[in-house]
Amino acid sequence: MVTTAFRLDGKAAIITGGGSGIGQAIARRFAASGATVHICDLHLDRASATARQISEATGGIAFAVQCDVTDAASTQQIFGRIAAQGRIDILVNSAGISHIGRLETTSEDDFDRVFQVNVKGVFHCMQAVVGPMRDQGGGVILNLASIAATAGLSDRFAYSMSKGAVLSMTLSVAKDYLKDKIRCNAISPARIHTPFVDAFLREHYAGREKEMFSTLSNAQPIGRMGLPDEVASMALFLCSDEASFITGADLPLDGGFVNLRG
């Protein structure tokens, strides 16, 4: 039986941070579900590689775009150019960086760097699409927050601050643009197994990677880390017409981390 559920045929999506990790998985899933995807990434080579993979694997339509989301003027210009080609039906804010440190060990430069990417980057991208979305009669914005927005995590001071801001911005935009038929939601993952995790283990736990991978995996009550494709599946649902009654929501994807610990 062929199903048409969770299809994005005829829709255009911008996915920031789409050249790797969670953003890449979302770009692949959206393209496989019929969307035209604009893969925006600071690293053009990564975006281009992902676009080629999409085209070769599924015949999907994907464009690679170099974009520094911390630059407001550049982001407006790039998104405006995409909007001029047709529509922007979906924006997924997946670009982000992490930081390890508590209050005392977080420098002002560290704090500012995380804020510029994770907070102002989301702000710039949402500000660039709400006008076109309003003019065309609606759209969907999906922000990647984190369980760090609502749960106390050790040594994640600046990162938690930034994801708390992402969640607050999500709720504000959802409220302010109800009448414009712009839905805005967030996904809050726990630890997801991306190349970042592997690089982190190599850098900080050389020779103990397997041991620490097991420790980090077991921090989720379900006993493992999440997968980028699992985030992409939830993103597909939230950006599809089947989720048309959902806005202003924060959906945890955490293997029971928030509610089932202890």
Q: Which residues are tagged catalytic? A: 159
CA distance 224 to 127: 36
N-terminal to C-terminal alpha carbon distance within the chain? 43
Short-list 225, 233, 164, CA closest to 196:
225
Three-state SS letters, the chain:
CCCCCCCCCCCEEEEECCCCHHHHHHHHHHHHCCCEEEEEECCHHHHHHHHHHHHHHHCCCEEEEECCCCCHHHHHHHHHHHHHCCCCCEEEECCCCCCCECHHHCCHHHHHHHHHHHHHHHHHHHHHHHHHHHHHCCEEEEEECCHHHCCCCCCEHHHHHHHHHHHHHHHHHHHHCCCCCEEEEEEEECCECCHHHHHHHHHHCCCCHHHHHHHHHHCCCCCCCECHHHHHHHHHHHHCHHHCCCCCCEEEECCCCCCCCC
